[in-house]
Structure 1
Amino acid sequence: MTSRPAHDTAARLGSWLAAHLAGTGRSVAQVARELGVGEEVVRSWLAGRGSGDGEFARLDTPARLGAWLRARIADSGCTVRELAESTEHVSRVTVYYWLKGEHLPRPPTGDEPDRFDLLLSNPRLGLTLRQRVELDEVRRRLTGTSLNAPPPVADWPDRALPPGDRAFTGRGEELRRLDRLLREHHRGRAVVIAALTGIGGVGKTALAVHWARSRAARSRFAEGCLYVNLNGYAEAPPLGPEQAMARLLEQLGADPETLPAAPEALAARYREGLRGRRLLVVLDNAHAEPQVRPLLPDEPSCLVVVTSRNRLDGLRATHSGITGIALDALTAGEAASLARHLLGLSRGAEEAPVAAFTAACGRLPLAIRIAAANFRTHHARTSSIGEYARVLGGDRLGHLHAGPADPSTSVATVMDWSYRHLTAAAQRTYRLLGLHPGPDASAALAAALTGLDADGLRGPLLELVRANLLAEDAHGRYAFHDLARDHAAALAARTDTADERREAVRRLLDHYVHTAYPAANLLRPSTHELALPLGEPCPGSSPERLAERGAALAWFEAEHAGMSAIAVNQAPGEFDVRVWQAAWALFGFFTAEGRLGEHGGLQRAALAAAERLGAPTAQAHMHRALSWSATRMGRFDDSRTHLLRSLELSLQTGDLVGQAATYNSLAVLDGQQERYAEALDHSRRFLALFETAGNRTGVARGLNVVGWFHAMLGEYDEALVYCERALEACRDLDPRERGVLEPKVWDSLGLVHHRLGDFARARGYYRLTLDRNRELRDRIGEGEALACLGDLHRSSGDPDAAREAWRDALAILTDLGHTAAADVRGKLADLDAESA
């Protein structure tokens, strides 16, 4: 019996399999599961039909593949948008990238969807199974993952390289960058070095090993791979360059007894051993540049991959051709894919518990692996994944360890190894930064926490960034990985005394309050009627001086989350004065930005602090602050309770300005409930009190509010008199206060002229109001002005303009949770009904 050639058998198998798939409608993934093999195997059988010289042979660059796809989409009669919208997991932007020949994805390594394959499978493209398989092979060829590439040496010399990780998933962008590096090396560039850097446990070694064992890398480096663990961050001391050279030479077959002892002679022997050889060299877990430099070959046929928690910036000063690849935590999809694999879950498993599980692990690969092992070993029979995620969230570092016998499987221990290599100043900075609960910190905040000046802090911060214990963004802000923050805070609790930690928090709170209160007055001078007696900041707190409104807004945007968190998290009786002052300062920002629901917890904590202090003025402030959002969110009973208590406290202390501010808030509350007569009475009291107090800003505000409620009662002549007096009073104020108050008066005048039928004048005032509110970034004012413009357009017979203005208003007011959103929504519904 005559045997068939292997390639003929492979081609017949591929043809039969293609016909089977076409006839049954099964997918490659389904067939792979039925046969108990991987998808890669099934695709290799399909690709074995020898189609390399078919219609796609000329698609030898990503740009040519993109051009072919563009033409196919055009022939299909649909647009890129239509194609993307009808393809799950594929966005329009992604398709445009592929059409330009950019960001062509490798086949996924986990159970995440293969977006390229999903696009090819879209029925609108009309591709046959054979075409899809061949185009998939084109993609694989262009990304260095071809199933038809020349096979690597069967007994490829991996030497000391660790085994591959079968659970490896994700890291698509990093793998593409390494593939590009391989192509550059193939084109004859001198020694190319990839530095994979990131926090401990982020998966640097796993990525390096996975890529080193890829088909593309093994095909390129037929003579194999050298690997050495430099122990840069481990329980054992770091490996010296001479020790590392000796181990690498032994992997090349050198007899350790014959290796020279002199460093220069050993280095020469190392260079000689690499000469003319095509080798991949993996230097794992490097500590610093001096440990790595002697190990970098000058042989152009070698390529080097270095992994380190240190950024190794100094290598660029002495070696060209270095590509830095910084690894961050896994994406949400990658983390979920890894967790499902480790937990033995199908892709259809409920997503929320898995997402909570990976979030509790900070999406750090090491943490996910440890948590998954613990769950399967100790918790799977007694709790769900969601319940275990809640347990993890309560004490992440306490749970993220596999056992005392193996310190490498403890997240805290892995981070300890990084910490031990820091200088004393960097260690202290790391610990104290862990006391800050915000998402990130500026250098000024770090200075306040540590009590160091800018010069003294520069070195420790740079050291922490280079060690990948902090990440610095383009705006000069420093952020922890979530688990690193927990680690730093735990170290502070163990290392620094309670007094040292308390003084660090005191400096931070003083920095926040003494920066925020003047900044809040830049945003809304008319909101802060009473200057707070802040006192002097404590030494080392170094408050920032902000001179103009834009800088104040930028500061609050960056700092409000951290400032709120540090104030709320203080134990009762700790820093009560600073807690309520911080809340009052932040109130100016929240009102300016229209953030209705963000500050309730902070204001309640501040009210409790003011009550513990027995400070009636502070309590009155906090009651008014709590009433502000309650009114605008429709909780009118809550608002009135807070305001009546605020009025009572202000009357007790004889605080005229506080009484006036409370009457103003009562007028707004009654106005929201269309109780205009009561609102007018409150606003008259508000005006009279500010006149008695001699507060010019308050008088201008009071005149406008009285005019507004006259208009609400249909008393337009009186309204015009008061509003025009208010506009005149604004001219006597300083530019900042005038800039804030004028749009409120223009809004009132717009309403009056609208009601009087003078649409042109009303439109002019509303436009002025809208433009100024946008300039001030007053989102509530912007939404309300748009709503008024919509009313005006409707009255003047322009329903299309009314619809556009109301839609814009609705988007803003809905986003803010403002009660006025329901009114605007009703007007739009009425307008649509009339059109129908």
Structure 2
Amino acid sequence: MHPGSPDTAARLATWLAAHLERHRLTVADVARDLRVSPGQVRGWLAAAGLRAPTGPGEFDHLDTPVKLGAWLRARIADAGVSVRELAESTPDVSMSTVYNWLNGEHLPPPPAADEPDRLDLLLSNPVLGLGLQQRVQLDEIRRRLTGTSLHLDAAPEWDARSLPAANRAFTGRRPALRRLDRLLADYGRGAAVLAIVTGIGGVGKTALAVQWARSAQVRPTFPDGCLHLDLQGYSATSPVDPATARLRLLYQLGADPHRPPADPEAQAALYQRMLAGRRLLLVLDNARDEAQVRPLLPADPGCLTLVTSRARLSGLDVTSPGLTRLDLDALTEAEAAALLRELLGRLAAGPATDEEVRALADRCGRLPLALQIAAANYLTHHHPQREPLAAYTAELAADRLGELTIDPADPATAVTPTLDHSLRHLSAPAQRAYRLLGLHRAPDFAEAWAASVTAEPRDRTRAALSELVQANLLTLDQRGRYAFHDLLRDHAAALAARTDGEQERRAAVGRGLDHWRHSGFAATMVVEPSRDPITLDPAGPGAAPERFDDFDTAWQWIEDEIEGVVAASAQATETGFDPYVWQLVWICGNPLGQRGQWNRLVELGELALQAGLRTGDSEAVARAHRYLAHPAILTERLPEARTHLQTALELHRADGDARGRAAVLHSLSYIEERLGNYAAALAHSEEALAVDRERGFRGGQARALNEVGWLLAHLDRVDEALAPCLEAHAIFEELGDRGKAAHVADSLGYLRHRLGDHAGALADFGRAADEFRALDRPFELAGTLDRIGDVHLDATGPDAAAAVWQEALDLYTDLGHGNAEEVRAKLHGLDRPDPADRRDAC
């Protein structure tokens, strides 16, 4: 058989249709995997007389002419044609007529005589790729909307009349669907009777529940059908009370609506009796709380209940042991991009690159509701040929919540009211905490910081945070840290702007920044006790900074909070807290440099410089130049670093700031050393030592002594070098500065190697390497490993040296540092340059 024959195409199309059904795939899933449009997949199926698997009621959600028009508009866009092209290729249908239908106007009833049925002619156009059964269903929708249906009382094949129609654009969620599918096996063993799907508003809980309830796997399991009830827990109207909800379910079960039992207990008994013996799926959608759900749970194990809610409904874990819980998060990057392409259609999304589609999806927070609104806005108000997708994404970035709106009063078409409804049932303290915490940009945060922002005691803050977590407005990870979804943070900040006065908002921002400044200073001085301290003004009223008694707690605080401090540095520049910027950078600068994140140091240094120039604070400006010199030195941009340091030195001298002058001298010594000017470097270090001795700063003295010993060794005065290094090590040990003591141990290892004491060198280097590993300082560790390799080459042999150098090379490569080439040359047997220094640059 010829591979290109029609018979082969038909067989492939038949296999494709079965593949879609068997693996729970949509046309969009297959189209994405094959990198073609959904319309192309439908065309393959239609050419063989097949279509994508659909179920009865596929179009039941099109219950108004406007919804039918919106669906038709999306179908046309998906086909990749314009309205003009579609009208011109459809007999007896004009472009203006099609536009009327798209706007929900002048929907024609079925023709009474021999006149052409223009709507069916349009739906029959092969470009739209609709199968016969789909056209029949759409004709029945049209008849219902025009009052001409011949089957108003016809019952569907599966008794699920209250269940909404599946979303045509539903995409992804395969892990969640598989998780729900496993419920069926548990249900068959009598082990599953209740499942809860929770998540923030707009994340697609209802869409997932409906998609699964209408799947081919569910129907045979529940031959008695499906009941669905919207409990309106988070809608514009009041939540449905349990008694009313039970009555509505009774009517769905066939109870006489004219003769309901008057007594609530009798109603409850009738409800359970009518459920008894049935194999039925009950979908309780949009539940507010446990009290609303519990009276509706079937007692008969033949029924399975699926609940969706924005609240976690944790109380059901106590009263319904063994329940299955599914916490729905935002779509993955791939799922969100696929949904956007499906919603936009080939005409709009075709010219866009994958990166542009992903950027728009990210700007929407990858929430299905936000994606649908953004796609609808783009298709309605923009044109791909006049405004590319990237331009629309930029507009969205300027005002996400404002742009993610079609009808501001309709939660189904606007993000803001959807999220507003999530707050309706929260306590006043929880609502206030939500608003004020949203003013900050911290990627995650701890309870202690939240207490400062809200200016509340820890116990009250803990209660408010717990309430927000239960409402899925915050997430809580295993480390005990809280986080916002991006859109929720935007919503909280916008709500604060509408609710709280400017003074209250500024105070909340200031308290958060104060917490990071003062807590970060305290943690830094415990982790780096030999560091030159800075002077902070007192924290504002209500802020409660943390204090630290031991190294491990302080070090962990820095690990947990550094990203928050970085975000705070940028926020301080934008909210009028310029004097705070250089202080926040002081806290996070060394940890970022030790991890090799030098580009971020440049960004922070620029922020500090601009803030200092705005305030006219010479100390802030000088420190900002030092911050910018640090990454320039570490990445071998030495002339640039020298310029920054000379500017800083002039400012410090003008201010009479001996502390700043000594810090610059240390860095200038480093530059001269890297250039091989060891005598000039030694002069800078000795001057810094004199300044620090005069002002009695022992941490600076120890740093200078270590530099002096290191540089003497490079001037071949090794015998003189040991004493200053030993003195430096003793001071750092006394001060309890583990990191600086490790630096001196590294220097001692180098000196002992020069003196021929290989065992002593390996011991000192080993102590330094162990400490750098424990402190997670890859740059310093790589330098020490490089020097250990030198010792092994002289004492043990090339194999041992190669193993250590390879580890150093891997670290330098990951950091993107130029020292990688030096180590690579050693591995290739080339001449070895002088070992690279590893001292702090500022």
Scaled by the length of structure 1, what TM-score is found? Answer: 0.80
Determine which of 512, 518, 527 is the counterpart of 1:523: 527
Partner AA of 2:283 in structure 1: V
**Equivalent residue number for residue 234 of structure 2:** 233
Q: CA deviation at 1:337?
A: 2.0
Worse-superposed segment, 786-795 or 360-369: 786-795
**Equivalent residue number for residue 429 of structure 1:** 433
Q: Is the 8 A contact 1:342 1:369 kept in 2?
A: yes
Cα distance in 2 for partners of 1:590, 1:520 equals 13
- Partner secondary structure for residue 354 of structure 1: helix
Q: Is the 8 A contact 1:198 1:310 kept in 2?
A: yes
1:551-608 Cα shifts (integer Å, max 9, x gaps): 2232122222222222222357823332222222222433444432223222322233
**Equivalent residue number for residue 24 of structure 1:** 3
**Equivalent residue number for residue 94 of structure 1:** none
1:154-206 Cα shifts (integer Å, max 9, x gaps): 811112101112322222222222122211211234x6111111101111111
Cα distance in 2 for partners of 1:43, 1:24 equals 22
- Partner secondary structure for residue 280 of structure 1: strand
Is 2:598 the partner of 1:619? Answer: no
Q: CA 1:288–1:572 in 2, change beyond 3 Å: closer, same or farther?
A: closer
Is 2:549 the partner of 1:550? Answer: no
Cα distance in 1 for partners of 2:343, 2:652 equals 62
1:556-595 equivalent positions in 2, closer than 5 A: 556-571=558-573, 574-595=576-597
Q: Is the 8 A contact 2:286 2:310 kept in 1?
A: yes
Q: CA 1:27–1:801 in 2, change beyond 3 Å: closer, same or farther?
A: farther
**Equivalent residue number for residue 653 of structure 1:** 655
Cα distance in 2 for partners of 1:547, 1:621 equals 28
Cα distance in 2 for partners of 1:475, 1:31 equals 55
1:412-436 Cα shifts (integer Å, max 9, x gaps): 1110111222221111111001111
Determine which of 447, 460, 464 is the counterpart of 1:460: 464
Q: Is the 8 A contact 2:722 2:751 kept in 1?
A: no
Partner AA of 1:225 in structure 2: C
Q: CA deviation at 1:38?
A: 8.6
Cα distance in 2 for partners of 1:720, 1:549 equals 35
Q: CA deviation at 1:725?
A: 3.0
Cα distance in 2 for partners of 1:116, 1:578 equals 50
Q: CA 1:525–1:593 in 2, change beyond 3 Å: closer, same or farther?
A: farther
Is 2:355 the partner of 1:352? Answer: yes
1:706-731 Cα shifts (integer Å, max 9, x gaps): 22122223x2xx33323333213432
Q: Give the percent of matched residue pairs that are identical in Structure 1 and Structure 2.
A: 45
Cα distance in 2 for partners of 1:553, 1:233 equals 42
1:101-116 equivalent positions in 2, closer than 5 A: 107-109=24-26, 111-112=28-29
**Equivalent residue number for residue 814 of structure 1:** 813
Partner AA of 2:824 in structure 1: R
Cα distance in 1 for partners of 2:5, 2:725 equals 76
Q: Is the 8 A contact 2:409 2:417 kept in 1?
A: no
Q: CA 1:270–1:436 in 2, change beyond 3 Å: closer, same or farther?
A: same
- Partner secondary structure for residue 324 of structure 1: strand
Worse-superposed segment, 570-579 or 808-817: 570-579
Q: Is the 8 A contact 2:288 2:311 kept in 1?
A: yes
Worse-superposed segment, 718-727 or 321-330: 718-727
1:771-825 Cα shifts (integer Å, max 9, x gaps): 2222333322101111112233344573333332222212222333433233223
1:461-501 Cα shifts (integer Å, max 9, x gaps): 11111111111111111111111111001111111111001
Partner AA of 1:334 in structure 2: E
Q: Is the 8 A contact 1:723 1:745 kept in 2?
A: no
RMSD (CA atoms): 3.0
Q: Is the 8 A contact 2:287 2:310 kept in 1?
A: yes
Q: Is the 8 A contact 2:352 2:388 kept in 1?
A: no
1:343-492 equivalent positions in 2, closer than 5 A: 343-345=344-346, 350-379=353-382, 380-404=384-408, 406-492=410-496
Partner AA of 1:254 in structure 2: A
Cα distance in 1 for partners of 2:269, 2:330 equals 40
Q: CA deviation at 1:755?
A: 3.8
- Partner secondary structure for residue 162 of structure 2: coil
Q: CA deviation at 1:699?
A: 2.4
Partner AA of 1:331 in structure 2: T
Q: Is the 8 A contact 1:700 1:727 kept in 2?
A: no
Cα distance in 2 for partners of 1:116, 1:368 equals 20
Q: CA deviation at 1:443?
A: 0.9
Q: Is the 8 A contact 2:523 2:554 kept in 1?
A: yes
Partner AA of 2:483 in structure 1: A
1:491-510 equivalent positions in 2, closer than 5 A: 491-510=495-514
Partner AA of 2:652 in structure 1: S
Q: CA 1:352–1:738 in 2, change beyond 3 Å: closer, same or farther?
A: closer
1:693-708 equivalent positions in 2, closer than 5 A: 693-708=695-710
Partner AA of 1:739 in structure 2: R
Cα distance in 1 for partners of 2:33, 2:356 equals 28
**Equivalences, count:** 710
Cα distance in 2 for partners of 1:667, 1:727 equals 20
Cα distance in 1 for partners of 2:304, 2:509 equals 49
Q: Is the 8 A contact 1:596 1:816 kept in 2?
A: no
Q: Is the 8 A contact 2:352 2:389 kept in 1?
A: no
Q: CA deviation at 1:828?
A: 3.4
Cα distance in 1 for partners of 2:377, 2:678 equals 64
Q: CA deviation at 1:763?
A: 2.9
Give the gaps of 5 or more residues in structure 1. Answer: 1-19, 48-105, 118-152
1:646-680 Cα shifts (integer Å, max 9, x gaps): 22222223333322221111000111222222212
Q: CA 1:196–1:813 in 2, change beyond 3 Å: closer, same or farther?
A: same
Q: CA deviation at 1:31?
A: 4.7
Cα distance in 1 for partners of 2:652, 2:475 equals 48
**Equivalent residue number for residue 40 of structure 1:** 17
1:339-385 Cα shifts (integer Å, max 9, x gaps): 22222249997421121121111111111111122222222332222
**Equivalent residue number for residue 771 of structure 2:** 772
Cα distance in 1 for partners of 2:430, 2:808 equals 50
Q: CA deviation at 1:758?
A: 4.3
Q: Is the 8 A contact 1:196 1:326 kept in 2?
A: yes
Cα distance in 2 for partners of 1:344, 1:541 equals 51
- Partner secondary structure for residue 599 of structure 1: helix
Partner AA of 2:381 in structure 1: H
Q: Is the 8 A contact 2:718 2:754 kept in 1?
A: no
**Equivalent residue number for residue 65 of structure 1:** none
Cα distance in 1 for partners of 2:202, 2:739 equals 51
- Partner secondary structure for residue 258 of structure 1: coil
1:76-131 Cα shifts (integer Å, max 9, x gaps): xxxxxxxxxxxxxxxxxxxxxxxxxxxxxx544464579999xxxxxxxxxxxxxx
- Partner secondary structure for residue 599 of structure 2: coil
**Equivalent residue number for residue 630 of structure 1:** 632
**Equivalent residue number for residue 290 of structure 1:** 291
- Partner secondary structure for residue 285 of structure 1: strand
Cα distance in 1 for partners of 2:747, 2:429 equals 59
**Equivalent residue number for residue 803 of structure 2:** 804
Q: Is the 8 A contact 1:746 1:765 kept in 2?
A: yes
Scaled by the length of structure 2, what TM-score is found? Answer: 0.79
**Equivalent residue number for residue 62 of structure 2:** none
**Equivalent residue number for residue 332 of structure 2:** 331
Partner AA of 2:726 in structure 1: L
- Partner secondary structure for residue 228 of structure 1: strand
**Equivalent residue number for residue 87 of structure 1:** none
**Equivalent residue number for residue 307 of structure 1:** 308
Cα distance in 2 for partners of 1:477, 1:502 equals 24
Partner AA of 2:242 in structure 1: P
- Partner secondary structure for residue 439 of structure 2: coil
- Partner secondary structure for residue 552 of structure 2: helix
Q: CA 1:206–1:573 in 2, change beyond 3 Å: closer, same or farther?
A: closer
